Amino acid sequence: MKALLINGSPHSKGCTYTALSVVAKELENNGIETEIVHVGHKDIHGCIACGKCRETGKCVFNDLVNEVAPKFEQADALIIGSPVYYAGIAGTMKSFLDRLFFSTHFRKCMKVGAAVCSARRAGTTATFDQLNKYFTISEMPLASSRYWNMVHGHTAEDVMKDEEGVQCMRILGRNIAFLVKAIAAEKERNGLPEAEEAVFTNFIR
């Protein structure tokens, strides 16, 4: 079993990475293999709605999104971490997630999803809500902790002083591992929930 963790901060070893590392350590302690991918420092183009991914099965921009897509498909859990920029997701991370979720057409149902955000002071709950929407549109159950999945601090050292935040990351890691194992057991017994063909409507018909 494997969890894929995405670091959306431009700082490879900063606050977001520190929080994700605590989650990853707990996952490893519970028998889940982990990989942290750093995307926040990359030049990642936003989605241009060209629709080519429907024809080719991958994004027209052949960059880190296409490299990560097969890892996402193989993963049992996806943990996405972002710093807070103007009370929202970091721009590069949003471009990455928009394209990753839109261009991958494999079924994501019952892959466990978890969002992690970090801020010096505020904007965490808005960012947390925004990150979780990628999961809830994809039939991915959310893993939670005893508080919202956030840490506070200006540096990685500060984050480790946020005792409540670090505890939340530990609990989150254990809860993700439990959900992954429980879902795998049920999938082995009865398979995934029945898939339905998507129905698309708009507000004028």
The letter for the amino acid at 112 is V
Tens-place pLDDT, residues 113-147 = 999 999 999 999 999 999 999 999 999 999 999 99
pLDDT surpasses 80 at 100: yes
CA-closest candidate to residue 108, choices 149, 79, 76: 76
Residue 114: strand, helix, or coil = strand
* 46 touches 99 (CB < 8 A): yes
Quick count: other Cβ atoms within 10 Å of Cβ 51? 9
Please report where in the chains the tokens 């302690």 appear, as a residue: 29
Residues 6+ apart with CB under 8 A from 120: 84, 152, 153, 154
- The answer to whether the CB of 97 falls within 8 A of the CB of 127 is no
The confidence band for 200, taking pLDDT boundaries of 50, 70 and 90, is: confident
Q: What is the pTM of this model?
A: 0.95
Q: What is the pLDDT of residue 130?
A: 97
pLDDT number for residue 6: 98
Contacts 24+ apart (CB under 8 A), 159-163: 159/15, 159/18, 159/19, 159/118, 160/18
Under the banding of pLDDT at 50, 70 and 90, the label for residue 167 is very high
Per CATH, domain 2-190 is 3.40.50.360: yes
Domain positions in the chain: 2-190
φ and ψ of 41, to 5 deg: -100, 0
